[in-house]
Structure formats: C-alpha cells, structure tokens
Amino acid sequence: MFIEMPSDLEAALIDLPLPTWELDHSFLAKSTMERYRTELTATPRFEETAATLRHALTREGGGYAVLRLGNLAKALGTGDRFRRLVTGFAAEVAVPFSPFPRWPLWKDIGVKVDKDPGKSSGIGYNAFHMDLVNASMPPDYITLLCVRPDPLGGGFSILSDAHAAVARLSEDCRALLAESVYHYGTFFDLFSVGEEYKPFPILDGSDPEEGFVRFTAKMLAGSELSQAHAESAGELAEELVRGQVSFMLQPGDYLIVAQRRFLHGREALRSGQETIPAADRRLLLQLFLRAGSTGGSARVADRCHR
C-alpha cells in the first residue's frame, strides 16, 4: 500500500512546473485535469505509477494507498508548485473537489490545543469515522497530504476495513445497523455532497462490498439510540479497532482512502503540544475526490440526488 516514486520520475517532476489550477464550481476544472494529464504523462513512468496507485485503491482487499512524495517535498517545498503535482496524481484517481465554500481546494488540518481533543485538529484520539457521514453523497475518497508529522512522535494514522469488520458481526447485529436510526453532526454551507441524511442507516443496504458503512464513533455518545442499536454500533466500533492498521505519515506522504471501503482516524498526539510553536505542530492538508470522469458529471449526479 506504500508506493515509492521511481527516481527518474522524481527527477522529471522536479523540473515540471504545472500551471495554476482552475475550478468549475467546487470541482477541479476539466481543462485543468486535461492539461495536468498531458504534462504528467510525458514524464517517464508516470502512467505506470498512476496505474499502481489506482490498482491499490480498487483491487480486491485494497482501498487505501500512500504515495511517497517526500523527495519531491524536499526539493520543491510544500507550497503551490508541489501541491499542483499532488493534485495531478489525485486527478488520476477521481475528480478533486472542495465541499466547503469557505475553503480552497486543499484544506489545512493543523493542531489546536484548545480544540475538542477528538476533532481532526485536536490533540487526542480521533476515533474511526467517515467524513461527511450525514451527507447523502459523501466524498468517494478522502486524501491527506502530510506537511509535518507530530514533532513529538505521536499522531499515527489508523485505518480499518469497514466491510471486513461488518462481515465479522452477527446477522442480528447487521440487521440493526441497517435501520435508519443513527445521526451525527450538523449540515450547512456545503457543496456537491447532496442533502442532509438524517437519520441514516450505518449499512445502506446496497452491495455489501460497495456501499458506504456510515459510521463515526462519535455518534455513540451523540445519538439517542435504543440499547440494542447502541450495542450493535459499539460492536462495530470494537471490530474496527480489532482490524486496524496504523502507520506514521512522513513529510510528503500522500494518503488516499476509499471511503466505500475503509474508515480512518488518528492516534493521540504526544503530550506537550502546548510547548511547540503553532507553526511547528503537525500539519496535514485535506483534499476530497468524487468518482466520475469530470467535475460536470459529478455535479449532474449531485443534482439528481437533490
């Protein structure tokens, strides 16, 4: 699941200044995707590397990959030029977009010591979840680019195969998880993720290997559930932890997670974060992807759901 960059491709990409991207509504414009693809496919072994990335995400048993771009980050820094290259790789998987109108294409996830510790920008354990769990059309992929890991050595990324976890549950438990009684979070000022889904089932009744497992551990405390429904969700949470993998993202690592297969989270950061200047704390950049050939087609699908 860790994809190393061929040295000749790295050398070519260092000398490849891609143009500034343009957006079509909240999606990366088709013209930008085509320009990036034209430029990138002219570099040695790019298509081979992109194919390896897609295979890791879509093969049986797959669903996440880490593209190791550390040498590029060292050579170029992690500013606009580097982010254009990463965006080009992302566009080989699906269509980059931002569901948040107040944020640009890439959203910073820093560390705030006074934030709820369980939030993405907090310092505590961030339990297993899918992003935008309460949207009728959640992003198909969540991606995270590591700019800086926790300088104190904490914050391991955790992933778990949600469908494999569900398969280990009893039939009665799965039946309860398929009932529309769960809810979590608020829903406002969002683009291209459909409508609010409330309440929702954790198991959506579609192909058990393809559908979303709409789960966030935070809803166990935030939802008014019957004992049976709460216990079933708790059993799923336990199975997710039992099947988890963990790893530390290094500078330049680009993690891509298929939300229809894997749920993600983060171990707690190491204590002492308040002693680290804010500019030196852990920093990830987040980008979402929508399956589909163009931003326009994804928006059509969104309108159909509305």
- What pLDDT digit, counting tens, does each position of 124-154 carry? 999 999 999 999 999 999 999 999 999 999 9
Q: What is the mean pLDDT of residues 213-242?
A: 92
With a pLDDT cut of 70, the percent of the chain lying above it is 93
Question: Average pLDDT for residues 263-274, to the nearest whole number?
Answer: 97
Residue 237's pLDDT is 97
In this prediction, residue 221 carries a pLDDT of 79
Say how far residue 227 (Cα) sits from the centre of its chain.
31
Q: Where are the domains of the chain?
A: 2-305
pLDDT, greater one: 30 or 103: 30
> What whole-number distance in Å separates Cα of residue 262 and Cα of residue 277?
33
* Inter-residue contact 255 to 64 (CB < 8 Å): yes
Query: How far is 226 from 235, CA to CA, in rounded Å?
Result: 14
Which range, of 29-38, 159-168, 176-185, 200-209, averages the lowest pLDDT?
A: 200-209
Averaged over 107-131, what is the pLDDT?
A: 95
Half-sphere CA count of 286, side-chain side, radius 13 A: 15
Tokens of 253: 């690592």
User: What is the token pair recorded at 102?
Assistant: 């107040």
User: 290: closest CA among 134, 132, 93, 102?
Assistant: 93
Is residue 101's pLDDT more than 90? no
Q: What is residue 210's predicted lDDT score, i.e. its pLDDT?
A: 74
Bridge-based pairing state of the strands 141-148 and 283-290 = antiparallel
CA distance 244 to 160: 4
Q: Would you say residue 77 has pLDDT above 60?
A: yes
Query: Could you say which architecture CATH assigns to the domain 2-305?
Result: 4-Layer Sandwich (3.60)
- Pair 221, 116: CB distance under 8 Å: no
Report pLDDT for 102. 85
Has residue 37 got a pLDDT over 80?
Answer: yes
Amino acid occupying residue 79: G
Question: In this predicted model, which residue has the larger pLDDT, 16 or 211?
Answer: 16
Dump pLDDT digits (tens) for 199-225. Answer: 999 998 766 667 899 999 998 876 689
d(CA 297, CA 37): 18
Query: Between 46 and 304, whose confidence is greater?
Result: 46
Q: Is the pLDDT of residue 248 over 50?
A: yes
> What pLDDT shows up at residue 224?
82
- pLDDT, position 301: 37
pLDDT at 111 over 80: yes
